[in-house]
Chains A and B, each alone.
Chain A
Amino acid sequence: MLRFIARRVVQFIPVFLGVTLILFMMTTVLGDPIRLRFGERAINPKVYKELQVRYGFDKPWYEQYVNYLNDLLHGDLGVSIKSGQAVSDIIAQTYPYTMKLAFAAIIIEIIIGVGAGMISAVKQYSFWDVSVTLSTSILVAMPVFWLGLLLQIFFGIMLKNWTNGAFYLPISGAESAQFPPAAHIILPAITLAAVSTAYAARIMRSQLLEVLGQDYIRTAHAKGLSGRQVLWGHGVKNAMIPVVTFIGLDLGAMLAGAILTETVFNWPGIGYTIFRAIQGRDYPVVFGGTVVILIAVMLVNLIVDISYAFLDPRIRYGGEGGE
């Protein structure tokens, strides 16, 4: 087990270096930071030279990369052009909103995704199964931001008109005087969860169908267990492993921020912050936010990998040939 963890951590290092190197190349070498900062305006060559020297852009690229890594590891992500605030402070303020949204979405995904998948598998080819299959296909083909807007139109606007303003859901922001905070999270959480819920349901369905076709299920029936005991004790339990992995990875992706969902709902998380920074050409915030997100995703993937080994003993000694 320890060797497995150690190997995973060692494998993580080149990926980390590679990702940060690519980011560094993109932000510093390809996208000349001084020019980006000045936008479309012309720069006095003398000022340009001075700035290059001051920020160390005149040094060879590998030296710049080492400095970049050093700043990164010390939490120095630069300063926002628009507000003058440190990028790390901006991230610290917005990240809790992203986490809240991610956990709300994961709860929806677990309950509805796993539940729908189970019903679909147990009642294969029934009306329910067909509707689950159909709706998951549609959800997967739907642009996330469009789904969010549809929910806004339906629950925020049409419902308000029908009930003469008596009942509707908030469609923007995370706080307001009219609604409790919990009401604000409902529509963004559904939007963020939608596609993953569809995938979770599909995986659960196919896994459970496969498990229920195994010999040990027949054996369990034969030794007199009730249908319920067989389903939960032998079926669901064994079908859950891939689903748990998927949901774990998905949590990682959601913790990375949901640019589209947060933008549609003006949810003040890290994704929305990056979107606003793109619009305002506030590059330090765009790049700093992205770096933090990337590191978060890589770490969560590492943790999921390791916890997967705890869940499934077969993984542990699987080693190299696993793929």
Chain B
Amino acid sequence: MDTQHNPEHKTHVPEHAEERMVDAVASAEVIPHHEQSHHDVGPQRTLGGDAWYRLRKNKLALVSLVWIAVVAFAALTADLWVPQNFGSPTAIDSVKAMEDALQPPSLEHPMGTDDLGRDIFARVIYGARVSLAVGVLAVGVSALIGLLLGAFSGFYGGFLDAGIMRVADIFLAFPYILFAILLLAIIPPSWKTTIWPVVFTIGFLGWTSIARVFRSSILSVKENDYVDAGRALGASDGRLMLRHITPNAVAPIVVYATMSIGGAILTEAALSFLGLGVQPPTPTWGRMIEEGRSFITTQPLLVIWPGIAILTTVLAFTLLGDGVRDALDVKMKD
């Protein structure tokens, strides 16, 4: 804990310092009960509640959270307002495609149109569906595999631990994007009309870091007296894991997962750019950039808009991850 609190300052500490100080002694039930200090923290002192309280004070993280919420909301509700106002993101009007193509931004088409006369704004919004879904689901898959293997590795140690960690080494020896390319090159394009092959590929490649982080987190939590106490009371391995160890070891995973979503979105974009991601007609940001490449001399906006969408979304997840890290007070390496 990074607070060095001084008993003399008990009554007149600045708000923020007190919040940290209270945090330092939270579990010991010696919190002085002045009403004022408890107002903004809320009655329940949980890890999540504390973290949320601290996250709200971090402007960058908050802006990022709002941006992610806006993008997600726009993507989820797209069917209700995008085709009606801006036209279909996929359908090509064969009669008007030529005259509608490559138009500059206007009131009708806020980001202009692509080479087939489709509204770019509509395509960017629908592209967000793929990016966000792949980002979140792929990290979910990684977390599931990583938590399971990390838990076994950290809890049981020994031979199992060594085996799992060697497998992780092998995965880490692969250049990430190449591995993904190989996996997706084997899958026939006709399967890639859904997001699942991409989700599982990225998820499958990402488990190693989560397993390592969770393993080392468990190793340090395992040494606590309350775990020994639990064991002495006759708790089973499963109960020790679920009730005593995991809740105390999970904070770094939350941080790591939040940060990984941005990376997963970048990987998805790169795979789509290479033509290995979700196949057309589904719009994806990476593929939009790839298709726009042919027109950079005449209409560079085709490339610029989806790139801005990727950049801002990934940046938001990174900054949110930083915020969550500070809020949960997790020390990360590097």
Chain A residues within CB distance 8 Å of chain B: 14-15, 18-19, 22-23, 26-27, 30-31, 36, 40, 137-138, 140-146, 149-150, 152-153, 157, 203, 253, 256, 259-260, 263-264, 274-275, 278-279, 283, 286-287, 290, 293-294, 297-298, 301
Contacts and interface: CB of A to CB of B under 8 A. Distances in A.
A278 B166 contact: no
Contact of B174 (A14, A30, A287, A294): A294
Nearest to B286: A143
B148 interface: no
Interface in B313-331: 314-315, 318-319
A232 to B, nearest CB: 25
B270 A18 contact: no
Q: Provide the main secondary structure of the chain A interface.
A: helix
Contacts of B315: 137-138, 141
Given A138-B315, A253-B175, A278-B274, 12 more contacts: A15-B169, A18-B169, A18-B170, A26-B182, A27-B182, A137-B318, A142-B310, A143-B289, A153-B303, A278-B181, A286-B182, A294-B178
Contacts of B314: 141-142
B307 interface: yes
Contacts of B169: 15, 18
Given A143-B270, A150-B307, A157-B296, A30 B318 contact: no
Main secondary structure of the interface of B (DSSP, over half): helix
A144 B307 CA distance: 10
A143 B170 contact: no
Contact of A23 (B182, B185, B334): B182
A224 to B, nearest CB: 33
Interface of B: 166-167, 169-170, 173-175, 177-178, 181-183, 185-186, 188, 262, 266, 269-270, 273-276, 286, 289, 293, 296-297, 300, 303-304, 307, 310-311, 314-315, 318-319, 334
Contacts of A259: 177-178, 181, 274
B311 A146 contact: yes
Contacts of A144: 270
Contacts of B303: 146, 149-150, 153
A145 B175 contact: no
A153 B296 contact: yes
Contacts of A283: 185
Contacts of B307: 142-143, 146, 149-150
A19 B310 contact: no
Contacts of A141: 262, 266, 311, 314-315, 318
Given A138-B315, A274-B181, A146 B296 contact: no
A149 B167 contact: no
A33 to B, nearest CB: 10
A146 B285 CA distance: 11
B284 to A, nearest CB: 12
Nearest to B308: A146
A82 to B, nearest CB: 15
B107 to A, nearest CB: 25
A28 B307 CA distance: 37
20 contacts: A15-B166, A19-B173, A36-B186, A141-B262, A141-B315, A141-B318, A142-B314, A143-B307, A143-B311, A144-B270, A146-B303, A146-B307, A149-B307, A150-B307, A153-B300, A203-B334, A260-B273, A279-B275, A286-B181, A301-B173
A23 B175 CA distance: 13
Contacts of A30: 186
Given A143-B310, A279-B275, A256 B185 contact: no
A260 B293 CA distance: 13
Contacts of A138: 311, 315
A23 B171 CA distance: 11
A287 B311 CA distance: 31
Contact of B276 (A19, A256, A278, A293): A278
